[in-house]
Structure 1
Amino acid sequence: MHDHHLQPLLHDLVGTVMAPTAALSGADGQIRSRGVQGLFHADARVLSQARLEIDGREPEPIGHAVPAPGVARFVSLARWLGDRDADPTVRVDRVRTITPGAMREEITIASTASAPFTCTVTVTLSCDLAAIEAVKSGGAAVPLTPEAAGATLTWQADGTRVTATAASGGADAATLRWDVTVAPGERLTMRWEVSVTDAGAVVAAPPGPREWSRPQVEADDTRLVRLAGQSLDDLESLRLTEIAAPGDTFLGAGVPWYLTLFGRDSIWAARMLLPLGTELAAGTLRVLARRQGVKADGETGEAPGKIMHELRRHEFAVEGSGFRLPPAYYGTIDATPLWIALLHDAWRWGLPEGEVAALLPALEAALGWLADHGDADGDGFLEYLDTSGRGLANQGWKDSGDAVRFRDGRLGEPPVALVEVQGYAHEAAVAGAALLEAFGRPGGSRWLDYAGRLAERFRERFWVDGGYPALALDRDKRPVDALTSNIGHLLGTGILSAAEERQIAQTLKNPAMSGGFGLRTMSTDDAGFSPHSYHCGSIWAHDTAIVISGLARTGHGELAAELAQGILAAAETFGYRLPELHAGDDRLLMGRAVPYPAACRPQAWSAAAAMAILHAAAGLYPDVPGGRVTVRPLPGAPLGALAVRGLRVGGAAVDVTVDGYGTARVTGLPAGIELV
């Protein structure tokens, strides 16, 4: 028997989200006092139960939908009421609406019975104000005792106040109550709501409308249309801002564990959304620049110029594990070069020069981190090592403890130099040089030299006998020779020659890597492979989308399309709300993607992956400062004809259509921009 807590599973829960508030319930709409179910607000569970009963019985669920951002509808039956016929005559619709800091529900009983009936409707509530890390570790929390007054229940502790009110009903103990009579043909609606006042929150909802366009998508493959629609809904529900600086928006990483600022996740999501406008990128860049490291601190991982990893209201500690992250944690090796790349790409898409110029000091500090702090041992590669003993042992995007493995399954020992991070560093150095030169700042040649030397060292040290780059170099500078998706992130970073890009594309095309619903994180031929390993065999939509983008940019459209088809098939399995990850099973095993049972959903970079796939298919590559836009769709339109109307280039609305032969047409480019 297990003597430790297990992380709750959540793959079959329904998320209703409007950040920083999210509800997780069963498919029947019930929020039960178990697992990760609950109403969450800014890293705390503010309701641990919201259970609907009619005459002491739970309605029988028959369906649910998430029709709009922050809205879910649950349909059930009360067959013990109404006529005693084969057909049900009493239906219950439960519509849940989340707004920042609040949840409202409408419970409608509709009768087609031949006679009136009387019933008692109750919603039983619990509140434990459990911290998100306690919920994640499977721990239990003691419910608080509410104060009841009229139709209102109130819980409060540690600066947080939760208030639930039944409209036209009553409240006693921990239950909201309505005694009703329903006539034949009548639809009777009961309403209740809960609101949260939270003095300790560090994130909040942005005050204005969304920062990006919502393009109209038409496609021969209707899965693209449905995936784009659901993904844009999910992205809208994940918008956040810092309470201390409400003018800048970023995307919270995901529900429920990561609904806050995450450097890497927020950067990648903003980067994938650049075809819809530069405002989100600008907000993300500024938020992270304000928290850019200024001192060396082994406990937090901070270093001068470094971009942070995550932000919490308090220490994130998993009981009994020794794992403790400070509220502002910098344990990431890749967020800093990715921040530089985002700034550069946003500039190319048309971020106004004044906004770019304001971020140049942060750019120079981030570039300085590459050479002065990111390379601790001076070997010319970026590497990481958790010196606190309480932080993340692995600090790339694959940050689980067993993510860095040799082909025979042995773990690589830190400090670790990850393969994709060297590509990010090369791209960041070249991008930084371009920005410095364009804005008349010194130092551009230094970073071009840095990139050139890095590419030479990389070529000498990372390639292994199988004809692909190693996952990493370990503490002894040995190539960690597992075959992983990480090598696909190198495509388009400039660190590879054209021949090396072809070699990587050919390697990834092997069914051991691409035979699932997307790109596996590790080859099935590796000893460490498991389809349900978090980072050693599973499939992540954002990871696959990054590789699709690189393949498209470097002229390997056939594999890009094959991987996109895998993600589209997975999206169909999951109702077009792509989870954080899914299992790496072969496509022929079940004919549909298998869930990873602890995957978060919605997840910002999974939702943004839909835009990355659309962008690769349309092939629009702008250089607004250079006065030109290149259009290079996937050859032969392997995803079918499509039209994307309402993209943004230099602030102008741009339409791209690709016919069934792969010929593209672009309209709406701003004046002075030449189409290449």
Structure 2
Amino acid sequence: MTSPAVPRQPLLDDAVILLHAPTQAWSGRDGDIGDAAIDGVYHGDVRHLRSVRVSVAGSGIETISRSIIDAGTAEFGSVLRGLDDDAADPKVRLIRRREVSAGVVSESLRLHSHRDVPLRFAVTVELAPEFAPMQDVKAGLATAMPWRAEAVAASGTAPGRVEVISADGHRSFQLEAAGAAATIAEAIVLRWEVELEPHSVTDIGWSATLDDDTLVVGAASNAELAVPSADDPRLARWIRQATQDLAALRLVRPADPEDAFYAAGAPWFFTLFGRDSIWAARLALAADPGIAASTLRVLARLQGTKSDPATAEQPGKIPHELRSAPLSLPNEGVHLPPLYYGTVDATPLWVCLLADARDAGMPEAEVRELVPALRAALTWITDFGSGTGSGFLDYVDETGHGLANQGWKDSGDSIQWRDGRLAEGPIALCEVQAYAYEAAVRGAQLLDDLGEDGGAKLREWATALRTRFREAFWVTTPEGRYPAIALDAHGAAVDSLTSNIGHLIGTGILDADEERACAELLLGASMSSGFGIRTLSTGAAGFWPLSYHGGSVWAHDTAVTVHGMLRSGLVTEARLIAGQLVDAAEGFAYRMPELHSGDGRDIVPFPTPYPASCRPQAWSAAAAIVCAEAYAAS
């Protein structure tokens, strides 16, 4: 007896993704949309179209090429051998060009004939509306929502179109296809009768304009990012791809159309994420300095003003994520409100980004406008961040259906002992103490420079935190002496060796000798995969190279370490690690995924994909900018 299939999150690594936030299209390598669980045309957090399939009467479509032109454009080349003569060479070709812009997906189908006789055949495009929520797609539970469609006849020079509307009336799209006859049934079928003369080319095509009146984010105006130069041609290719992807991931809130931020990534995270958007802006500062200031403003407008356990809001706290509707992930037992504050690190990171932006030239008037938000964030760090009163910033989910872990490693099994046991919360993460220390010191300097009071008190608090950290976090295991990943509910140091210690470098919470010791461990065989730093040491019982946070490699995580090393003068170490990321980028055709396997290069010649990894991911793309800085450092 066969047991029923368990719903699974879709795999992503072999798909073709085109995007311009908040719109994206996922397809197979042949260009057709619909065969894989992730396939579809998405706008915001809804999959508007489940499938888009092309067929040619009298011939199969055999794909022979795929060209990714930019973040939103690709061409798929095919031959139509059913329309050929008896010669060996194919003489009839189809070039399918897909373009994704904000709110629009279009395809042009160019038919080439090298035959000596005219050809008459039909081309059809079948499109299946769905309107399934993104969260259902992620859970493997997507089903088509009810929809209705109406064909509108052509008038004058305007082509005919088909208007498709979801049953709730909030989502819709309009199809236009010049010269096509449209049939509406369980799907929408567009049909062209093609007359292809000898040695000629004929173009047909369609476009879909998508709308969702519930969206809380929208497309940002186009921006040209600075492209750092690089002597290494592989790094140069990665930077070009990364800056294209970062430009395509820019979003705004409709109420603040001038203030852009980076969406976290595709496909699941096309929205504002406090931690992700901050780190992406911080790592990409050299290429896109303006987005740091606008990200700060967007998050300041959503900064907490009250205490609400249901949303994890507290006064001064920077939010975790913003969506247009509650997020429910039944496979994970997670149910989040549309505006959710369950993050322990976004608030100190907001202060650090403000300091970085000011150092990079953010006008003083703009900095002064954010002083109230700065004071509120600093007060949250010193007065609200320690829920247990331990003096360390910590977290615990009070609802039972929020995020169990609220640092960047937010999966349920990410905080574990060397023997594999899971740590019991509340949890105080090592890197969060480092962010808080840096925020207090640099926040104090900001206040001093602006003629504001409060700096001395912040420095006293930071000094005391640094002392407490040294007393509580350092552990000695068979792998060496290093800071523990966290303190658990009992104040015990959770003794796994993890990539988290890389986030401490450059913050000031460690002295120079301690930073060098951490760098040496991170470059050691148990942590360095050869394609980046593993999230968990191979010496830990829970290590698994395909574990989301327990042995995999995250590009941004490794880049944060590079970023800190450069600030601390550990240039040689920074270059070594940056070189590993460049090697990884080459293995992923220079579009770095969210994460990849922690398999070592002594085992595999190329990085192994983590098959459910998102891409592009803003902070993974931004890692290229930091690597360019490492390569250029002297």
Instruction: Give TM-score, length-normalised by structure 2.
Output: 0.95
- C-alpha distance in 1 between matches for 2:354 and 2:326: 30
Q: Please list the CA deviations of residues 415-443 of structure 1 after superposition, one character each: whole Å capped at 9, or x if unmatched.
A: 00011111100100011001110111111
Q: 1:154 is matched with which residue: 163, 168, 176? A: 163
Match of 1:518 in 2: 532
Deviation at 1:574, TM superposition (A): 1.1
SS in structure 2 of the partner of residue 534 of structure 1 = coil
Q: 2:44 is matched with which residue: 39, 42, 45? A: 42
- C-alpha distance in 2 between matches for 1:172 and 1:152: 11
Aligned ranges 1:173-184 → 2 under 5 Å: 173=184, 174-184=188-198
Q: Please list the CA deviations of residues 113-158 of structure 1 after superposition, one character each: whole Å capped at 9, or x if unmatched.
A: 2322222111111111111101100003125454242443332122
Aligned ranges 1:179-328 → 2 under 5 Å: 179-206=193-220, 208-210=221-223, 213-215=225-227, 217-219=229-231, 221-319=232-330, 321-328=332-339
SS in structure 2 of the partner of residue 559 of structure 1 = helix
Give unpaired runs (5+ residues) of structure 1: 619-632, 635-676
Aligned ranges 1:594-673 → 2 under 5 Å: 594-618=608-632, 633-634=633-634
Label 1:363 to 1:77 Cα distance change in 2 as closer, same or farther (>3 A).
same
- C-alpha distance in 2 between matches for 1:14 and 1:257: 15
The answer to whether the 8 Å contact 1:83/1:114 transfers is: no
- C-alpha distance in 1 between matches for 2:282 and 2:331: 37
- Residue 62 (structure 2) pairs with residue 66 (structure 1): no
- C-alpha distance in 1 between matches for 2:145 and 2:470: 58
The answer to whether the 8 Å contact 2:261/2:291 transfers is: yes
- C-alpha distance in 2 between matches for 1:435 and 1:559: 30
The answer to whether the 8 Å contact 2:150/2:162 transfers is: yes
Label 1:271 to 1:164 Cα distance change in 2 as closer, same or farther (>3 A).
same
Match of 1:17 in 2: 19
- C-alpha distance in 2 between matches for 1:171 and 1:416: 58
- C-alpha distance in 2 between matches for 1:303 and 1:248: 24
- C-alpha distance in 2 between matches for 1:592 and 1:80: 38
The answer to whether the 8 Å contact 2:595/2:610 transfers is: yes
Aligned partner of 2:436: which letter?
A: A
Deviation at 1:56, TM superposition (A): 7.1
- C-alpha distance in 1 between matches for 2:20 and 2:403: 29
Report how many residues are paired: 617
Match of 2:513 in 1: 499
Match of 1:102 in 2: 104
Deviation at 1:64, TM superposition (A): 1.4
SS in structure 2 of the partner of residue 376 of structure 1 = coil
Match of 1:447 in 2: 458
Match of 1:639 in 2: none
- C-alpha distance in 2 between matches for 1:308 and 1:6: 29
The answer to whether the 8 Å contact 2:59/2:81 transfers is: no
Match of 1:92 in 2: 94
Match of 1:556 in 2: 570
Label 1:343 to 1:156 Cα distance change in 2 as closer, same or farther (>3 A).
same
Q: Please list the CA deviations of residues 386-425 of structure 1 after superposition, one character each: whole Å capped at 9, or x if unmatched.
A: 0011110000000000000100110001100011111100
- C-alpha distance in 1 between matches for 2:512 and 2:149: 68
Aligned Cα root-mean-square deviation (Å): 1.4
Deviation at 1:181, TM superposition (A): 1.7
Label 1:452 to 1:127 Cα distance change in 2 as closer, same or farther (>3 A).
same
Deviation at 1:110, TM superposition (A): 1.2
The answer to whether the 8 Å contact 1:82/1:114 transfers is: no
Deviation at 1:245, TM superposition (A): 1.6
The answer to whether the 8 Å contact 2:386/2:393 transfers is: yes
SS in structure 2 of the partner of residue 267 of structure 1 = helix
Deviation at 1:188, TM superposition (A): 1.1
Aligned ranges 1:271-420 → 2 under 5 Å: 271-319=282-330, 321-420=332-431
Deviation at 1:50, TM superposition (A): 0.7
The answer to whether the 8 Å contact 2:177/2:207 transfers is: yes
SS in structure 2 of the partner of residue 129 of structure 1 = strand
- C-alpha distance in 1 between matches for 2:84 and 2:349: 61
The answer to whether the 8 Å contact 2:575/2:630 transfers is: no
- C-alpha distance in 1 between matches for 2:87 and 2:602: 44
- C-alpha distance in 2 between matches for 1:320 and 1:344: 39
Deviation at 1:449, TM superposition (A): 0.8
SS in structure 1 of the partner of residue 627 of structure 2 = helix
The answer to whether the 8 Å contact 1:12/1:27 transfers is: yes
SS in structure 2 of the partner of residue 587 of structure 1 = coil
Match of 1:592 in 2: 606
Residues 424-433 or 77-86, more deviating: 77-86
Instruction: Give TM-score, length-normalised by structure 1.
Output: 0.89
Deviation at 1:2, TM superposition (A): 5.3
- C-alpha distance in 1 between matches for 2:24 and 2:550: 29
Deviation at 1:250, TM superposition (A): 0.3
Aligned partner of 2:164: which letter?
A: W
- C-alpha distance in 1 between matches for 2:96 and 2:145: 25
Label 1:482 to 1:384 Cα distance change in 2 as closer, same or farther (>3 A).
same
Deviation at 1:544, TM superposition (A): 0.7
Match of 1:538 in 2: 552
SS in structure 2 of the partner of residue 428 of structure 1 = helix
Deviation at 1:558, TM superposition (A): 2.8
- C-alpha distance in 2 between matches for 1:57 and 1:80: 4
Aligned partner of 1:315: which letter?
A: P
Deviation at 1:218, TM superposition (A): 3.9
Q: Please list the CA deviations of residues 329-367 of structure 1 after superposition, one character each: whole Å capped at 9, or x if unmatched.
A: 000000000000000000001000000000010000000
Deviation at 1:493, TM superposition (A): 0.1
Aligned partner of 2:571: which letter?
A: G
Label 1:418 to 1:596 Cα distance change in 2 as closer, same or farther (>3 A).
same
Q: 2:115 is matched with which residue: 98, 113, 135? A: 113
Deviation at 1:565, TM superposition (A): 1.7
Aligned partner of 1:160: which letter?
A: R
Match of 2:493 in 1: 479
